[in-house]
Every structure is written in C-alpha cells, then in structure tokens.
Amino acid sequence: MITLISKNKMAALLCGIVFLNLSLLAFAGEMKDAGTSAHENQIEIKDFAFNPKTLTVKSGEKVTWINRDEEPHTIVSVEKQFKKSTALDTDQEFTITAGAPGTYNYFCSVHPKMTGTIVVEK
Amino acid sequence: MSDYISHDHEHDGIDRRGFLQCMAWAGTGLLWTISGGVLASRTLAEIAKAGGSLPAATDLSFLQISDSHIGFSKEANKDVTETFKIALDRINAMPTPPAFLIHTGDITQLSKPEEFDTFDEVLKSCRTKDVFYVPGEHDVLNDGGKLYRDRYLKSVEAKGSGWYSFNKNGVHFIGLVNVLNLQAGGLGQLGDDQLEWLEDDVKGLGADTPIVVFAHIPLWAVYPQWGWGTSDSERALGYLKRFGSVTVLNGHIHQVLQKVEGNVTFHTAMSTAFPQPAPGTAPSPGPMKVPAEQLRSLLGLTNVQYKQGKSALAVVDSNLS
C-alpha cells in the first residue's frame, strides 16, 4: 500500500504550536540539507496553476507547495493516495514526504481545473 | 490584469483593451434591449430618484447579493466589509424594500467562523430580514460545508448537501449547490442525487409557473477554461425545459454577464467585494485590481422583479458607485 506522510504547516487553530513547529522543521531542514545534497522540491501555485505541473522526486524526499495566488487553493490526491491539505491562503505552504514509487495525480478541490502530478522514483 | 491604460497612442484616455472592455459592456446593454421586456435596465438610484415606490403592479421584488468574501483583505479591496455595508445601505435606501434577499455564495473568503460571524453581524443592519443562501466554494473549504449549513439553512427544508426550493407569490425558487465534491479537471457539479431531487421537485408544477434557479457557479458554460461552468447543468435545465419562464441567477465570476436561450434567462451578479477579469482577458481569474476610484463602479447588486401575468422577470443590476 502506498503511503505518503502529510503535514499542513499552517493549521490555523494551532498557530502558536505550529509557529514553534515550523521553526523546528526549518531548523531540522537546514541541518539536514547541510549534511546531504539539498533537494528543493517546491511547487509554486500561481495564476491558478501548479508549477511545475509534473515534478519527479525520489522516495523519501519532501515536496512542498506554496500558494502565490490571492485565492485559496488545496492539494488533493485524485486517488486519495495522501492526506489532502486544508485550504492554503496566500504564501501558505503544504508539505508531504514522498512514499512508494509511483505516479500521484492531484488537483485543487476549489478550482478542479488545476491539476498536477508527482512522479516518485526509487 | 488592471484597468490602467497601458497603451494610449491617441492620447485620448483609452487604449485598445479599454475600448474592447467598453464594447463588451455596451454589448451587454444591447442584449438587454433586444430581449425586449425580459431585462430592464434601471438602476436603484433612478428608482429612488423617481421619488415614488416601485411600479405599482410589481407583485414581487427581491434582491440578489453575491460574493461578499468577508475576510479578503488584499490589494483588490482591503475593506470588503465596508463595501458589503454599502451594498446593504443601498438596499435599506430602496423606497420599497425587497421581499427577501438571495445570497449566491462566497459569503466568506476562507470559511472561517469569525468571517461568518462578521457577515452575520453586518447583515443585522439590513432592513430586509429574510435571506436565502447557496454556498460558494469559499464557504465550504475545509469541512464540506457543515458550518455553512448549520448557519444558513435554518429557514428552509434543505436536502442533501444543502439544496432546497420554496414558493413566493406563485414563483417557484430553487437553490442549488454546485461547489461540492468537484472532480479533478472538471467544473462545478450538481451530482446525481441533487439532479434526481430537482426532477422530482418540479414534476408537479404547471408549465406556467415562473421558475427562479439560483446557484453559485454559473449554470451555463461562461468560460470553462477558467472553470466558469457546471458540468451537469444541461441535465438540470432539461428538467426545466417545459416551463415558460426560467430565470437562472449565479455569482462566482464577479461581473454581470447574461444570456437568453429560449425561455431561460441566465444572469450573473457583481460581487460586493472585488471585480474579476472578463473571460480570457487575464492570465487567471484572480481578483482584479483597479484604481480605488473605480472599485465601487465594479461592485454591486441585482434587483429582480416579478409582475403577475407577465411571464418574464425583470433583472436589474446596479453598482455601488
């Protein structure tokens, strides 16, 4: 069974905790990147589109979406392969860790014309 | 996209884009004229200036407000609560208050309880107390619409995810939900359960019953590239084909567009929060920034009048400037 671990960094109700959490994550991320080759798997949401539309990553890597629109967007797996994000407001992020190799199609459930694909390689 | 003049070759204060936009609006006016009697163009200000009440023979007058987006605070309109208040002031200033309001969705920007609270608080200033709602996608972001349904469907007998119908002055009103369970790559959607309910709901009605359908996303293919349409709206309209007068009121696109097809008049309302670009004129349908002095001319509300004996309803838009 394919699993992806998801974490919405901007859970609104837990602002204080999330803030702390974020700083820890950022810190941890920096430490990790310093020791290994950095992979910045970022998908920018702009003008109602995911850029890049298809992103290829290695299993275990993190993938982060960041919303640059003034509209809220979501990231929802078409086949429910990973936990969906809550609505991301401007500049909010959503991160998952890529699980088993495979093709993961996703879309924005608010604007379903917006679709994208994550290809996870071994 | 903005309404700033980017190419003013003739130094006449208008560029090609601006000219085409003007033409688009003029074209809308023309459509109103040729559809003779279906749509009338009178602003609320004109009605108020006439000094009296609305035409005496008007049996039912109601108002559509839409896309208030409470909580939005970006450049396109930093104070959407204020413009919503102005819209309510306009309603309160009408010589004859509308019988009720219809809100065609996107009450809030992010479905937050405090945004709904602000909306409810401001709405208290409205003299007209009966309000019928349908949700926009911004009202159902994280909970499938539960919070919305708990608050806004108390006065109706809602079914499924929140659709319902009611009768006023011999007019049959149908509020539909087309912002839930949207499919990847698709448009707005009504779904089988709601469509079956609709078929059954109108079954017993005489063909001379005027029908008003309201939903957030347009029930016609305004611009599918931007998701401005509803994938299964044709089926819904099929059930309404036999009726002599069908008026479809939508929001979502933050501008007035209309189309008359047989006995069906489609109409979209302005937002009270911010305008959006005309179909295909910008990279995306996001909020459109205009000079501050233009903003209120692109926000507004819609008055609808039904006169007994006349099958068509008069749909009248007015802006907030």
Inter-chain residue contact A115 with B185, CB threshold 8 Å: yes
- For CA atoms B135, B139, B144, B145, the dihedral sign is negative
Token pair belonging to B300: 């507004």
Q: Indicate yes or no: CB of B110 within 8 angstroms of CB of A69.
A: no
Contact between B110 and A72 using a beta-carbon 8 Å cutoff: yes
What is the pLDDT averaged over residues B70-91?
A: 97
- At residue B28, the 3 state secondary structure works out as helix
Contact B67, B298 (CB under 8 A): no
Q: Do A112 and B226 touch (CB under 8 A)?
A: no
Chain B residues touching A47 at Cβ < 8 A: 283-284, 286
Please write the tens of the pLDDT for every residue from A83-102.
Answer: 999 999 999 999 999 999 99
Length of chain B: 321
Going across the sheet that includes B300-306, the strands are B131-133, B101-103, B60-65, B300-306, B314-319
Q: With beta carbons under 8 A apart, name residues in chain B contacting A72.
A: 109-110, 138, 141
What's this model's pTM, rounded to 2 decimal places?
0.80
For chain A, 122 residues long, the average pLDDT of each consecutive 10-residue run is 47 42 35 44 97 97 97 96 95 96 97 97 95
pLDDT digits (tens, 9 = 90+) for B278-289: 999 999 999 999
pLDDT category of residue B307 using cuts at 50, 70 and 90: confident
Q: Which whole number is the average pLDDT over B89-111?
A: 96
**pLDDT number for residue B92:** 96
pLDDT of residue A113: 95
A90–B74 C-beta distance less than 8 A:
yes
SS3 B138: helix
> What pLDDT sits at residue B308?
74
d(CA B148, CA B150): 6
ipTM score of complex: 0.79
Asked whether residue B29 carries a pLDDT value surpassing 50, the answer given is no
Report the residue from A49, A70, A111 with minimal CB separation from B287. A70
Residues of A with CB below 8 A from B226's CB?
A: 48, 113
Check A49 against B287: CB less than 8 A apart.
no
Strand A42-46 with A62-67, pairing: parallel
- Are the C-beta atoms of B296 and B83 separated by less than 8 Å? yes
DSSP letter assigned to residue B296: G
Considering only alpha carbons, which residue of chain A is nearest residue B178?
A110
Put simply, the answer to whether A87 touches B287 (Cβ < 8 Å) is no
pLDDT of residue A40: 81
Please state, for a pLDDT cut of 90, what percent of chain B lies above it.
Answer: 76
Which domains are assigned to chain A? 9-121 (2.60.40.420)
User: What pLDDT score does A12 carry?
Assistant: 43
Report yes or no: A85 at the B interface, CB cutoff 8 Å: no
Measured CA distances, B58 to B53, B142, B309 (Å)? 10, 42, 10
- Assess whether pLDDT exceeds 70 at residue B198: yes
> Using CA atoms, how far apart are residues B5 and B18, in angstroms rounded to an integer?
7
Q: For the segment B155-188, what is each residue's pLDDT rounded down to a tens digit?
A: 999 999 999 999 998 899 999 999 999 999 999 9
Best A14, A81, A109 member to test B by mutation, with max B CBs in 10 Å, is A109
Asked if residue B302 has pLDDT above 90, the reply is yes
Query: How many Cα atoms occupy the beta-carbon half-sphere of B262 within 13 Å?
Result: 10
Contacts of B182 in chain A (CB under 8 A): 109-110, 112
From chain A, the residues in CB contact with B109 under 8 A are 72
- Rounded Cα gap, residues B305 and B99, in angstroms: 10
Average pLDDT over chain B reads 85
Q: Could you tell me if B151 and B189 are in contact, meaning their C-beta atoms sit under 8 angstroms apart?
A: no
Instruction: Identify the closest residue of chain A to B289 by CA–CA distance.
Output: A70
Residues B115, B132 contacting (CB under 8 angstroms)? no
Contact B286 A72 (CB under 8 A): no
| Contact status of A86 with chain B (Cβ, < 8 Å) | yes
More confident residue, B216 or B170: B216
What single-letter amino acid sits at B257? L
Res. B129: pLDDT tops 70? yes
Q: Where are the beta strands (DSSP E) in A1-122?
A: 5-7, 42-46, 49-51, 54-58, 62-67, 76-77, 93-97, 102-107, 115-121
For B286, the closest of A12, A48, A87 (CB atoms) is A48
* Residue A39 pLDDT: 52
Q: How far apart are CA A14 and CA B194, in angstroms?
A: 36
